A and B are shown apart, each in its own frame.
Chain A
């Protein structure tokens, strides 16, 4: 009886026989004749195939070995990846095969779904950030920041990058990785640190440790040095906070994961990337533009492609060729769903809950929070014991504590509170902290 080797391979032995006859070879081995004999192998030392049932069991067993914030376990972890509510609309749209199993929209006549949603995301990102233009997305916020810094070097011709000390240290490291190739210097600077050697000053609002920066005077410092001003922002915070377009940023980037996408152990995410319109031709990444078809109907196409690697090769603005489209689609559906008022509500909820939690924790014996500094949804807690030790105790009570930042702030724990944390969670967290601190 004819048989196919696997459900993912359609052709049976008999089909293969017919095809090999048509090709005019006796066996498929002849088709691999170009591989030099000394390199040919007879197979790989790997486990055997699993049935779908065995496979899902095995993978579910691995999944069960992880502790996650669900089923009664609360989490106060943020530090670059955030748990926010994801409306039901998002997953249902994103899981559609028409979106998920399409390629980059090189054939616009049959890719308007992808293209129009990319144009939506560019538009939404511009509205959110108050910037002129946006691309369709980068790998994540950190690599978007790195590409932004490289872009300022192309624009200014300068070869030093200044990154403000308030920026996420992991993001600074990614900037360094990207700067290593072209031999650019990266300086981590304080509030007045940009000089006329620097292509840019990159800041983060809110800062990695949660506080709101004086982004106006930082922007003035950048301009005084003739450097471009790059801002990295939390898109949820833009539901209430002044956007980077409001404080003179030349380029603004953001980690877009918060907009309708699970934390996913760190990826895939999406970097949102915007700039002033003067710099659009130096922007990396995919860009969609509006145009018309032969019959005068509105449609969308990939545009300004001469910036990109497939045309400009070694003179391209970047080698990137993905826009994290599916994650971008989630952000688009998310923003359409929560809408104008919803995003403000979510931002304000995060703010008030974080302030509430900060005040409660500050009142605990041995703990302290600087309540005088304006913040958004994260703040540093000074702990009476090493934060790692406290976190172990919290885990015993089904609480994933904040990030241990004791290498940055003495006995510091970076706590994040979002709309996902109920008052009950916060109160339980405070009780557990009190007990663990004793």
Chain B
């Protein structure tokens, strides 16, 4: 598993792709692998305010439910509605088609608290050891 170097990561295994004052959020390859076959993703509608480290959605595999935690605060500008029909995208392409929401940051400084790809990989290595 290679974590794309241009993304920022959280200890809850979410990633953010920063594009100016907005960003795209998803879960990492490691997270999807741990969860197994994803069968359902519940996401907030556009316009919803989300807060860093707080729950913004849920992700379900056949026999587990996990909460999705926001890496940063902001307002949801778009949710990935295609996951309703093809939740398997999260397994197949976690950094691409499996994205979850796009947000407009309310405090871009929060991004500084997130991990780089190298830091994240060291983190999961330590966690699974």
Q: Which residues of A contact B (CB under 8 A)?
A: 281, 305-306, 311-312, 315
Contacts and interface: CB of A to CB of B under 8 A. Distances in A.
Interface residues of B, number: 8
Contacts of A305: 62-63
A281 B40 CA distance: 10
14 contacts: A281-B40, A305-B62, A305-B63, A306-B39, A306-B60, A306-B62, A306-B63, A306-B64, A306-B65, A311-B63, A311-B64, A311-B65, A312-B65, A315-B65
Best-surrounded residue of B39, B64, B65 (most CB of chain A within 10 A): B65
Interface of B: 39-40, 60-65
Contacts of B61: 306
A306 B38 CA distance: 12
Tell me the interface secondary structure of chain B in the complex.
Answer: strand
Nearest to A281: B40
Contacts of B64: 306, 311
Contacts of A315: 65
B74 to A, nearest CB: 24
Contacts of B62: 305-306
A315 B40 CA distance: 16
Nearest to B61: A306
Give 5 nearest A-B pairs by CB, closest first: A306-B60, A306-B65, A312-B65, A311-B63, A311-B65
Contacts of A306: 39-40, 60-65
B44 to A, nearest CB: 15
B61 to A, nearest CB: 8
A291 to B, nearest CB: 11
A115 B3 CA distance: 42
Nearest to B62: A305
B40 to A, nearest CB: 7
Nearest to A305: B63
A281 to B, nearest CB: 8
Nearest to A310: B63
Nearest to A312: B65
Nearest to B67: A315
B87 to A, nearest CB: 12
Nearest to B66: A306
Nearest to A316: B65
Nearest to B65: A306
A133 B65 CA distance: 23
Nearest to B60: A306
Given A306-B40, A311-B63, 4 more contacts: A281-B40, A306-B61, A306-B62, A311-B65
A306 B58 CA distance: 11
Contacts of A312: 65
A372 to B, nearest CB: 51
A3 B92 CA distance: 62
Contacts of B60: 306
A59 B57 CA distance: 56
Contacts of B40: 281, 306
A272 to B, nearest CB: 25
A306 B62 CA distance: 7
A305 B37 CA distance: 14
With most chain A CB atoms within 10 A of its CB, the pick from B39, B40, B60, B61 is B60
A281 B39 CA distance: 12
Contacts of A311: 63-65
A122 B63 CA distance: 22
Nearest to B64: A311
A306 B41 CA distance: 12
A312 B58 CA distance: 12
- Most chain B C-beta atoms within 10 Å of own C-beta, residue among A281, A305, A306, A315: A306
Contacts of B65: 306, 311-312, 315
A59 B40 CA distance: 52
B76 to A, nearest CB: 19
A312 B61 CA distance: 12
A313 B63 CA distance: 12
A349 B62 CA distance: 47
A312 B40 CA distance: 14
Most chain B Cβ neighbours within 10 Å, of A281, A311, A315: A311
A305 B63 CA distance: 7
Contacts of B39: 306
A306 B65 CA distance: 6
A141 to B, nearest CB: 30
B9 to A, nearest CB: 26
Nearest to A313: B65
B59 to A, nearest CB: 10
A256 B49 CA distance: 45
A274 B109 CA distance: 49
A312 B60 CA distance: 10
Nearest to A315: B65
A305 B62 CA distance: 7
A157 to B, nearest CB: 15
B79 to A, nearest CB: 17
Contacts of A281: 40
A306 B39 CA distance: 10
